[in-house]
A and B are shown apart, each in its own frame.
Chain A
């Protein structure tokens, strides 16, 4: 019954491993891809009030005008980015939906899309589901996971329709500074390629200000900016994302969204309006992640897991090369022997089987305990 396209989606041992973790009690988990903070109370309180006041209907397909206006205003204030709240923004059910819509809107069968590896798991899957082909732009630990422009150039020879960028990145935590971005844009601007920039971790940048790709000179028309409230505002379960871009792409995405989703949930949208006022809470969470980052990166390197200092998000992508175990075996043994959960690097690209992703969206006490256990495990290998 199930179609071939879905059957073809990469099968992986990762799912079994996830089931193993989920079935095990009392695990110290550094495997979680969402904030450990609960949504700021002012936002939760707003959602409760919305329910009390009877906000239980659909909204406009594009999302509440109030949220679109507030979001556009936020982008203007923070990044000097200007979007029209009526034509150039769509409120979606998380960035995942926005990405799916974008790919559905632009891809013809066999169109190629560049994905920077290691990648967030949804990118290749959604491209393939939408009939596209993935071109992997692999980055290396030795290059601090920055993009190799020569490799990019050779992939551009295949005339890809689009490239998906994600910075700060899940799983590596790296981000691009102005120089990196300008070099990238210099190359991409020469060709007719659409840029989908997933910047969901923008609020969690620890070294200097985040620079949206759309801010680069002349880039805005060619860029679809994807962002949302999940990470920076600790609102994953509210499922509110947004896409900003040229009127044509937003209109096409809205068309699909109006059939498949109708609109994002109204209570979540109302809560999100208030979230933009919670900048104090956002910056307090950022400070806490940053402290944990300093701690965990030093500790991981000390116990023998080479790790670059991530500049954003809340992940470390550590090398396990010297231990001679593939990432799934490493993760399984660490789980069974020491009850510590991490995500095997293989989940983020076939060629990243000698890495593990460590999430520091976990209390400092947990991180400390996990370090002790991982150190014992490494000594026992």
Chain B
């Protein structure tokens, strides 16, 4: 079953027929497994990895370190929720170390992100401090190297 996940993680658009052939199962069986994963929230969503730099589109990504005060009984969960519900926040992680939350925030330009931090994030009562890092270049994302394509260097026929 792990096999099905490994294939989908790499190619979410594969057809059920092909998925069945690659795993030597019946199409119906594969369909049931995939549906079960979807229902149980193991498969959360199918998405494309997009290299936006190729689109020459103005868009900025920032990593924001956030130091917060945990709250009685709920710890970080409640303040994290206050933050991750903003649509600008694409990812939100609780980390060990010198700060607490790491956010990945996207906006159409630097001002949009800056004003999100200044007007929405920093003023939250439990947020003690933020450090914003703007991303300059993406080399690799979700296991995919974005900067150059690997060419097959083998001879086309050998024993």
Interface residues of B in 108-159 (CB under 8 A from A): 150, 152, 154-159
Q: Which residue of B3, B22, B24, B158 contacts A32 across the interface (Cβ within 8 Å)?
A: B158
Q: A36-B152, A291-B7 are in contact. Are A31 and B157 (CB under 8 A)?
A: yes
B23 within 8 A of A: yes
Q: Once the chains are docked, how many angstroms separate the CA of A298 from the CA of B20?
A: 11
Q: Once the chains are docked, how many angstroms separate the CA of A27 from the CA of B155?
A: 11
Interface residues on B, range: 10 to 19
Give min CB distance, B24 to chain A, whole Å: 4
Interface residues of A in 357-372 (CB under 8 A from B): 364, 368
Q: Once the chains are docked, how many angstroms separate the CA of A121 from the CA of B152?
A: 24
Q: Is the CB of A341 within 8 A of B22?
A: no
Note all chain A residues with C-beta closer than 8 A to B150: 38
Q: Is the CB of B152 within 8 A of A18?
A: no
Q: A38-B150, A287-B3, A287-B6 are in contact. Are A294 and B156 (CB under 8 A)?
A: no
Q: Once the chains are docked, how many angstroms separate the CA of A299 from the CA of B18?
A: 11
Interface residues of B in 69-97 (CB under 8 A from A): none
B21 within 8 A of A: yes
Chain A CB within 10 Å, residue with most, of B21, B150, B157: B157
Give min CB distance, A194 to chain B, whole Å: 24
Q: Is the CB of A22 within 8 A of B3?
A: no
A79 within 8 A of B: no
A347 within 8 A of B: yes
Q: Is the CB of B154 within 8 A of A22?
A: no
Note all chain A residues with C-beta closer than 8 A to B157: 18, 21-22, 29, 31-32, 341, 343
Q: Is the CB of A121 within 8 A of B159?
A: yes
Q: Which residues of chain B have a CB within 8 Å of any CB of chain A?
A: 3, 6-7, 18, 21-24, 150, 152, 154-159
5 CB contacts below 8 A, A to B, read A31-B158, A38-B150, A292-B22, A294-B22, A368-B18
